[in-house]
Amino acid sequence: MDTPASTTPEERGDPRGWRRAASKSGVVVVQEAGSASWRFEESNPQLPHVALYVRDAVQLPVPAAPGVPPALTHRPPDRSSLLSFAERDEAARQWESWWDALLELEVRARTRPSAPNDRRGWEQRRMEREQAGVPPEFAALQDRPPLHRAVLGTYREALDWTNDRRSSRPRSDRLGFAYELVRQVAEDVAFDRQVSPAEVNGTALVLDVTGEWWHELTPGTVACSLAAARAPVPARRVLRLAFDAALDR
């Protein structure tokens, strides 16, 4: 569901001796020198962006919290008329549990990938997606009528927006983290922690939200804004958090 960004060193002007590989879940950056290699995966997931679109378009009053991202960088059309004031308050409370479920789904997809011929694994993944609440029916949200109605009323335009956003962005502009910075931080962590580079790995879910925001989801996986991924100081903190936490788990 995620669209891989730049996949070759030539496209990004990467230094010789390093490799960037694409995966179905995002962009994986690895070191090529020798047998020991660090690993970093960056993803721009679609379903969390759909949830944020629903929140912003319907103007759900979701309380601010460390794990709740700021507003999208894109301001969607006003769809607040889909719900009454009371229903919007109720949907806002329901949205938080849906958001947590979608992020958990993204984390599991990256920590427990299924092999192409693993039918049982793919069936388990399909069931997990249905339980989290995914298009087109969002059946898992039927027990939360206000949220379900808000989602059904906006998800198609949300999907159109996410698809247009990706297709209109130049290939060279689809990555958030600077390649050289990722390499430098990964090497620093390996040196500081006195571990093999092969033990250094991390994942970032990059969201198109305003400001320099980030939040640790699980040890080794951090959600962050695109601005945080592209600004050197917060990007370094995000990378260090992901790499260090993965080693500590």
Is the Cβ–Cβ distance between 174 and 8 less than 8 Å?
A: no
pLDDT value, residue 16: 38
Q: Write the Ramachandran bin of 187: left for phi over 0, alpha for psi from -120 to 50, otherwise beta.
A: alpha
Q: Report pLDDT for 3.
A: 38
d(CA 178, CA 184) in angstroms, rounded, equals 10
Looking at residue 1, its pLDDT comes to 42
pLDDT digits 0-9 by tens, 139-196: 999 999 999 999 999 999 999 999 998 777 766 566 799 989 999 999 999 999 999 9
Q: Report DSSP letters for 30-78, one per residue.
A: EE-SSS---EEEEE--HHHHHHHHHHHHTT--PPP-TTS---BSS----
Which of 29-33, 71-75, 174-178, 190-194 has the least mean pLDDT?
29-33
Cis check for the bond before 136: say yes or no (omega within 30 of 0). yes
Segment 31-60 mean pLDDT? 87
pLDDT digits (tens, 9 = 90+) for 93-141: 999 999 999 999 999 887 665 556 666 666 666 676 677 778 889 999 9
Q: Which of 155, 153, 149, 154 is nearest to 135 (CA)?
A: 155
Please provide the average confidence, as pLDDT, over all residues in the chain.
85
Domain ranges of the chain: 9-44+174-248, 46-168
The more confident residue out of 223 and 11 is 223
Q: Is residue 8 a contact partner of residue 63, using CB atoms and an 8 Å limit?
A: no
